[in-house]
Chains A and B, each alone.
Chain A
């Protein structure tokens, strides 16, 4: 049996292609049989991915979901930042430059509002849960932006590793909820055109969550949402450890 594991882990990326393919066929089938195509197959597939990640985490106790199982380690490459960003960029082909330019200002506003509002709501929750020191409050607030902003900020302001772990978890919860929730709320916030997708991307920020959520809603919206979301993490890393930290420190010296 050992040589099978060896073959599988040596050809990890190809195994990942195969397994994802099977998951997607299964998801399409579920979508047709159980929901009469009301819930798109891609949404079910993405959700299945999360379930699989949870199972992988429980089995191995690791942090990389299913990729911690050696035979399926290729998932780390296929689902990693390189392929993700490469595929997101490719969706821009055929996107309209004039729409992006026209929505530019609203996109910038949504980015500012998204980062600052998420930070303060996250920070307030930290305070409500009993945290009193500026570094912890700031780091959890930053985690409410994305799971990259949290640890970057936490390291910069000198938060404890436990707080940094919480901030990462906060960002992951956000990304998962945006992934699952986007197709569900799309109708109510008229998320059905490029303009609103750009604003949505700026408000939510999490590139992975927004991109996955929009993919499950309407793949045509992905490039527009990703366009603004990609600036969110950078803006968060810029504002949280600096201006926003100083502000929190002013209130909680």
Chain B
């Protein structure tokens, strides 16, 4: 059943979202903290467990794969609903404050990569 895969993904997604919202509440901030990340970890762990028990079928994988392949079309749709008009017309502050930090953060990339390498 292909729906088992979709249901597995949905289960991980909802639990992850709840975890993210709960963490946000604990920290007293009005935001979801890492909901997507938790859901991803749950999915990876669930897949591992199911494979161990030989319960992870090809059809189940297809159910998740479908959404994974829908990812880029969804991102295209997401780009199409961004407020590009306001972003381009909000003047220099928004443009500079949007662009310059990215460049400076990019410059930090090799340094942190080095930390990651010495660590492993």
- Judged by a CB distance under 8 angstroms, whether A7 is at the interface is no
Say whether, besides A20-B73, A230-B34, A90 and B67 are in contact (CB < 8 Å): yes
Say whether, besides A125-B96, A223-B40, A203 and B106 are in contact (CB < 8 Å): yes
Which residues in A have their C-beta under 8 angstroms from that of B24?
Answer: 234, 237
Q: Find out whether the CB atom of B116 lies under 8 angstroms from the CB atom of A53.
A: no
- Judged by a CB distance under 8 angstroms, whether B54 is at the interface is no
Which residues in B have their C-beta under 8 angstroms from that of A135?
Answer: none
CB < 8 Å: which of B34, B78, B113 contacts A49? B78
CB < 8 Å: which of B16, B67, B97 contacts A144? B97
Q: Find out whether the CB atom of A79 lies under 8 angstroms from the CB atom of B93.
A: no
Most buried by B among A17, A54, A100, A234: A234
- Judged by a CB distance under 8 angstroms, whether A9 is at the interface is no
- Judged by a CB distance under 8 angstroms, whether A33 is at the interface is no
Shortest distance from the beta carbon of B42 to any chain A beta carbon, whole Å: 9
Which residues in A have their C-beta under 8 angstroms from that of B105?
Answer: 113-114, 117-118, 203-204
- Judged by a CB distance under 8 angstroms, whether B65 is at the interface is yes
Q: Is the interface of A mostly helix, strand, loop or mixed?
A: helix
**In the complex, what distance in Å separates the CA atom of A110 from the CA atom of B14?**
27
Q: Of all chain A residues, which has the CB nearest B108?
A: A113
**In the complex, what distance in Å separates the CA atom of A172 from the CA atom of B105?**
17
Q: Find out whether the CB atom of A179 lies under 8 angstroms from the CB atom of B68.
A: no
Q: Which of A138-190 contact B (CB under 8 A)?
A: 140-141, 143-144, 148, 152, 165-166, 168-179, 181, 185, 189-190
- Judged by a CB distance under 8 angstroms, whether B55 is at the interface is no
Q: Find out whether the CB atom of A121 lies under 8 angstroms from the CB atom of B104.
A: yes
Shortest distance from the beta carbon of B112 to any chain A beta carbon, whole Å: 5
Q: Find out whether the CB atom of B82 lies under 8 angstroms from the CB atom of A48.
A: no
The interface size bin for chain A is 35 or more
- Judged by a CB distance under 8 angstroms, whether A134 is at the interface is no
Q: Find out whether the CB atom of B119 lies under 8 angstroms from the CB atom of A105.
A: yes
Q: Find out whether the CB atom of B95 lies under 8 angstroms from the CB atom of A175.
A: no
- Judged by a CB distance under 8 angstroms, whether A70 is at the interface is no
Q: Find out whether the CB atom of A237 lies under 8 angstroms from the CB atom of B31.
A: yes
Q: Find out whether the CB atom of B106 lies under 8 angstroms from the CB atom of A65.
A: no
Most buried by B among A42, A85, A86, A94: A86
**In the complex, what distance in Å separates the CA atom of A56 from the CA atom of B47?**
41
Shortest distance from the beta carbon of A76 to any chain B beta carbon, whole Å: 6
**Contact mask B94-120 → A, CB, 8 Å, 1/0?**
111111111011101110110110011
Q: Which 9 A-B pairs have the closest CB atoms?
A: A173-B98, A57-B85, A49-B79, A234-B33, A79-B77, A106-B116, A92-B40, A169-B90, A79-B78
- Interface of A with B (CB < 8 Å)? 16-17, 20-21, 23-24, 42, 45-54, 56-58, 61, 63-67, 75-76, 78-80, 83-95, 97, 100, 102-103, 105-106, 109-110, 113-114, 117-118, 121-122, 125-126, 129, 140-141, 143-144, 148, 152, 165-166, 168-179, 181, 185, 189-190, 195-196, 199-200, 203-204, 207-208, 211-212, 215, 219, 222-223, 226-228, 230-231, 233-235, 237-238, 241
The 18 listed contacts between A and B (C-beta, < 8 Å) are A50-B82, A57-B85, A63-B83, A78-B74, A87-B68, A93-B47, A125-B93, A126-B97, A141-B97, A169-B90, A172-B82, A173-B97, A200-B109, A226-B40, A234-B27, A234-B31, A234-B34, A237-B30
